Amino acid sequence: MFNVFIDGSSGTTGLRIYDRLKKRNDINIISLEKDMMKDPVRKKECLNSCDYAVLCLPDAAAVESVGMIENPDVKVIDTSTAHRTEKGWVYGFPELSEETYEKLKTTKRVAVAGCHASGFISLVYPLVESGILPNDYPFTCCSLTGYSGGGKTMISEYTDSDRNAGYDSPGIYALSQEHKHLKEMTAISKLKNMPVFVPVVSDFYSGMAVTVPIITDLVEHTGSLKTAIADIYADKYGKHPLMDVKDIYGSDLNGFIYSNSMAGRDSMKIYVMGNEDRLLLVSVFDNLGKGASGSAIQCMNIMMGLDETEGLNI
């Protein structure tokens, strides 16, 4: 039996993790009593008495919680942005490499990948790693997400009966090109430059479709670049249970990719679309699944020595 403390269990990520874990008979969830939610002494007790501390907090609060941990045996899984590129933390996307997977088995500090970042990195990392695309390629990325990714504030804005009329249509944000996921998107993918990133939020609860376009004339390659990229993804992800590359050319799509098609699931689908002149690389998943809570539980399962899909909906 593993003792798990979810620090920030009332937020969207924490609630999804709690809902997944409460159904398991190998997990004992440690919870803060309602009247102790803001008591630092009681919180510190929980952080130091658990086997796994799952942090579902804003960045500053996550750093504060890590600083409270004195028990060297406590393993931390942080879903915030705070530690994703920090030395000593393993980036929580197990499928990136065998090395990453093996590190997860022994590490005590995991930083779960961000939702937009998960989609971008899943598409770009294997191509830069293989050398088929250079690390200075001028990457761009468009990511369409449900409003749950904005947390309680955004959820209330979208569900308010008197909401602003603008919420009826998709909204582009991070217009300054300063989105918090850009740092990990660049660092983990080992890019020379940050991509131009266009995140778009729309009027549905959860789901995400991340698209990276590729102009083939900018790539030195002999033969079909589309086929070569598809083969790289198939080789990279084909054996991983949470990565679906079975229909990589999208024969099941009927001409459309819907960003909420994976809502409620903890896996990710990868598509290679377009033609030999202009490609569209697309990852589709739930921003609260493989983009947050599901990924956190997957990492925890690996750390526990269990099947990585335990308790997940794939």
State the catalytic residue, choosing from 50, 115, 141, 299: 115
> Would you give the DSSP letter of residue 218?
G
Backbone angle region of 250, left / alpha / beta, with phi > 0 → left and psi within -120 to 50 → alpha: left
**Rounded CA separation 97/114 (Å):** 17
Q: What are the phi and psi torsion angles at 53 (to 5°)?
A: -105, 115
* Cβ-contact 69, 78 below 8 angstroms: no
Enumerate residues 6+ apart whose C-beta is below 8 A from 248: 230, 233, 234, 270, 271, 272
Q: Is 103 exposed, middle or buried (0-12, 13-18, 19+ CB in 10 A)?
A: middle
Q: In the Cβ-directed half-sphere of 28, how many Cα atoms lie within 13 Å? A: 8
Coil, helix or strand for 110?
strand
* Cβ-contact 289, 282 below 8 angstroms: no
CA torsion sign for 300, 305, 306, 309 is positive
**Rounded CA separation 170/161 (Å):** 18
Q: What are the phi and psi torsion angles at 281 (to 5°)?
A: -100, 125
Enumerate residues 6+ apart whose C-beta is below 8 A from 18: 6, 9, 29
Question: Tokens 């008495």 sit at which residue?
Answer: 49
For residue 141, indicate whether it is catalytic.
no
Residues recognised as catalytic: 115
